[in-house]
Amino acid sequence: MDRVSEELTPSLTALPARGEAGAPNATGSWLNDLELRGRTLVIRKTGATVRFDWALVREIGRGLRIVLLLMARRWWLRATGQERRHIWCAPDAPRPW
């Protein structure tokens, strides 16, 4: 095996036990990766914590408004038969280093 193949081959490591930080989500739902402990939201996969307070509620509300506006626009364009914009990913070639 040459050097490049060795670098691209992922190393095999033991996965953390279920419920520990970094454990994979067995059910597939991203909501199962969240846990509410008191007034703190814990992300099980990373172990990160987010304080659950009114500032977080306001930020979630702002995000939901934006998403709902974008969904309403999409539904309107689809209902009226107008052309919708499309986004796709066209990645660059990998760097040589």
| 9 within some domain | no
Q: What does pTM read for this prediction?
A: 0.43
Which residues span the domain enclosing 46?
Answer: 18-80
Phi, psi of 96 (to 5 degrees): -75, -10
- SS3 string, 3-69, reads HHHHHHCCCCCCCCCCCCCCCCCCCCCHHHHEEEECCEEEECCCCCEEECCHHHHHHHHHHHHHHHH
Strand partners, 41: 36, 50
| 10 within some domain | no
Q: Count how many domains the chain has.
A: 1
Strands 40-43 and 49-51, how do they pair?
Answer: antiparallel
Q: What is the pLDDT of residue 28?
A: 65
| 90 within some domain | no
Please write the tens of the pLDDT for every residue from 8-59. Answer: 555 555 556 665 655 555 556 778 888 889 889 898 888 899 898 899 889 9
